[in-house]
Structure 1
């Protein structure tokens, strides 16, 4: 009885579909760059491989090109993928780019309970990956990044604008500048008592940058900051809800709130509403990231727009340049301000209506 199982596609089929030789297919799929193959031909081969579902044997690729065809994406905790929309979008973007380059992506968490801190360094030591992208590095994890750097493994870190990161290849935006812009927007609406709920604990470098933007905006306008105006959430909307409850329980009045990201802002809205406070009439609110759900919040969320898909694309482009031993070019300008999307939650539209 003939088998109903279909044989997996071969490199010969890729070659026929792309109209090239099997040797060219081998060079392209093993990322051999010194054979004079044009980018158009390279893309043609990768497209043909994707279309027929061809996946070269990983072991053969390792032997042929000395590489594994795998890159690692290092995130703080795997559970963040369940609750952090920004991170989920970023992972999807990087994964899509990996497919485009014919690579596999491995996700590794750095701070999960029960795991040895910096465990991702083992992937480097064992040469199970060709390079890695690190998202939201922490201060304790800095020493492990130094080890990877010293080992000469291609690495891109989301850390543009962070202090003491000059030795690393960094990508992303300077979030302190855009955070400062968001707070200045609230100040421009007449607020001087502006609280801040950050999206995670201050051990994460990006968390400190958003807080720095808040503090600098307040200081430049001569507004004193009450220590009771700052609280730290833990990525999820539920943690934003609890952190905002904590702020309210301190009984130190504020008229505006800057949330470290949009997910936290969703939790903050609920906590404020349950306390009998209306957004924006009683407390103006601004978030960060402009996740897809932001415009559907009630009220619609004013927020800093982040090009998450573009960030993932840029990170992979930098990593690919390093893997090819080329000089990486950053297409994202760290100092560029992200656009502020003004909707209902900050009260700007309400104020304009009242003036009329």
Structure 2
């Protein structure tokens, strides 16, 4: 049996106030004479009951807030180091600013804890939400879905029922590994971009496995390591792979930032890329072409991902336009020197 929908009446009864007071508090109505103690009591009751008004209901009292939430499922430190994020933010901002919306950015370290980011909806009064890096263990999304709150996922979460904007991570990873196989490698390691709870990480691992299977190469669990968004996680994971009795001759790293740590670990072992081990990344962040050697990688359209998610959300809020269930943007393999496909040119003597 479906759970009865919580109403403002339930919040009012729990907080010991009128429904009008609940409306004034949750909608932050200007000029309402509500004491701070009453306000805290109403917000506490709303949180405990899991109640929040949707954007349409709020607009009846206070019109639109003109604020969009951007929740990043990462720690603040991971967000600070994320070289991919600025282009995504640029794309979002270029849509939201002309449409008259502000963007409120919220890093969330643990989406499994109660009220991980639901307070953003309750207290910050946003009209819609873009959730970047969705996780399978997110405790908030089912409630948002039940309430019909406008949410766009940057990334996929099968079965969640939210519109998503993403790239085909499975196919992008498959192409990267196929490229390494075409260069003669059969013992290929993988270092993911994030823990397996992140859908993007799981999909890139799936693409890796599909490429191996297509060429009859056995999957070896020992060649799988999990990164965690940062260079340091790549450095540690690469040292783990290099410590194997039979280390890989190539590694697919599902994040350029993680790959930068991989390159450092290989260098610190006195090895050379690609002579001793080939490396392919994923993202094509700006620094990828400037590291030594320049990084072969799968290019993601970062700006376009942010731009597309923002435009779909604005169309939903402003025009009531039903968002598409899934929008996939293309990827591209960018071949540079780290994979060994491009060899340094030999210097020829200059004849006098």
Q: Normalization by structure 2: what TM-score?
A: 0.76
* d(CA) in 1 for partners of 2:302, 2:98: 17
Matched-pair contact (CA < 8 Å) for 1:228–1:252 = no
Distance 1:204 1:131, change over 3 A: same
Distance 1:164 1:112, change over 3 A: closer
Q: Is 1:100 matched up with 2:93?
A: no
Matched-pair contact (CA < 8 Å) for 1:124–1:148 = no
Which of residues 144, 147, 163 in structure 2 aligns to 1:148?
Answer: 144
After superposition, residues 200-349 of structure 1 pair within 5 angstroms as: 200-324=194-318, 325-328=320-323, 334=328, 337-349=330-342
Equivalent residue number for residue 5 of structure 2: none
Shift of 1:149: 1.4
Q: SS at the partner of 1:270?
A: helix
* d(CA) in 2 for partners of 1:109, 1:150: 23
Q: SS at the partner of 2:222?
A: helix
Q: SS at the partner of 2:285?
A: coil
Shift of 1:67: 1.3
After superposition, residues 168-179 of structure 1 pair within 5 angstroms as: 168-179=162-173
Matched-pair contact (CA < 8 Å) for 1:93–1:313 = yes
More relative contact order in 1 or in 2 (CA 8 Å, sep 6+)? 2
Q: SS at the partner of 2:337?
A: coil
Q: Is 1:72 matched up with 2:69?
A: yes
Q: Is 1:121 matched up with 2:114?
A: no
* d(CA) in 2 for partners of 1:146, 1:156: 14
Structure 1 residue runs of 4 or more that deviate by more than 4 Å after TM superposition: 61-65, 115-118
Count, aligned residues? 287
Shift of 1:333: 5.2
* d(CA) in 1 for partners of 2:200, 2:243: 27
Q: SS at the partner of 1:349?
A: coil
Query: Any stretches of 5+ residues in structure 2 without a counterpart?
Result: 1-57, 347-352
Query: Any stretches of 5+ residues in structure 1 without a counterpart?
Result: 1-60
Moved more, 305-314 or 97-106: 97-106
Equivalent residue number for residue 343 of structure 2: 350
Matched-pair contact (CA < 8 Å) for 1:177–1:337 = no
Q: Normalization by structure 1: what TM-score?
A: 0.75
